[in-house]
Amino acid sequence: MENNKNNNQNEEILENGQEDSQKVELEKEIKPEKKEKKILKKDHDEKFLKEIEELKSKNVDLNNKILYSQAEFANYKKRKETEVSNMLKYSNMDIVLEILPIVDNFERAIKLDDTNLNDELSKFLEGFKMIYTHLVETLKKFEVVEIDCLNKSFDPNFEQALMTAKVSDVEAGIVVEVLQKGYMLKDKMIRPALVKVSE
């Protein structure tokens, strides 16, 4: 009977031993799979990290492009506002340029010496003077101002020299005669003064 017990125990030990050895073999088989999984997971993680970095880079590029576009639009808007305000500011320029020759003709007529003229012509010139005065006042309301250059240094930005002359007691480069008046519209020169300059 003891022999049977021993045999049974030996069989159990053998079976347990076999089971243990089978477990070890199974673990050996499983472990490489786990290693493979770890390697695969590591490769997979690196791939994801790479994609994340690429996406971050693209995100930064897109943000920069958006900022650039916004800045460009803001500059465009400012330019357009400046253009529109300038258009409004100088909107009267064309009509003023058409009126200035009329003012010139009135000035020529007024310069006539009316001492030798009969009364009728004197009254006619008086009417011219009134119309001229009214016209000049209207131009001033629209900020059209005559360029004051007589007896001042010649400035090529506002004057155009048509003639030069030697004038005693006057230094060179001084405007000695205005042949045609120049005008400013607000802060813009719309017609240069035609002048005679001393040599």
Whether the pLDDT of residue 19 is over 60: the answer is: no
Strand-pair category, 193-198 with 175-180:
antiparallel
All structural domains of the chain with their residue ranges:
1-89, 92-198
Fold of 92-198: Nucleotide Exchange Factor Grpe; Chain A, domain 2 (2.30.22)
User: What confidence tier does 65 reach under pLDDT thresholds 50, 70, 90?
Assistant: very high
Give 107's contacts (C-beta < 8 A, 6+ positions apart): 132, 181
Tokens 């340029």 sit at which residue? 97
The stretch 73-95 carries a mean pLDDT of 88
**Contact between residue 157 and residue 189 where contact means Cβ atoms under 8 Å apart:** yes
9-23, 50-64, 171-185: lowest mean pLDDT where? 9-23
Give residue-wise pLDDT tens across range 121-162: 777 788 888 888 899 999 999 899 999 999 999 999 999 999
CA angle centred on 98, ends 85 and 162, rounded to 5°: 100
* Strongest mean pLDDT among 27-36, 44-53, 98-107: 98-107
* DSSP code for 174: B
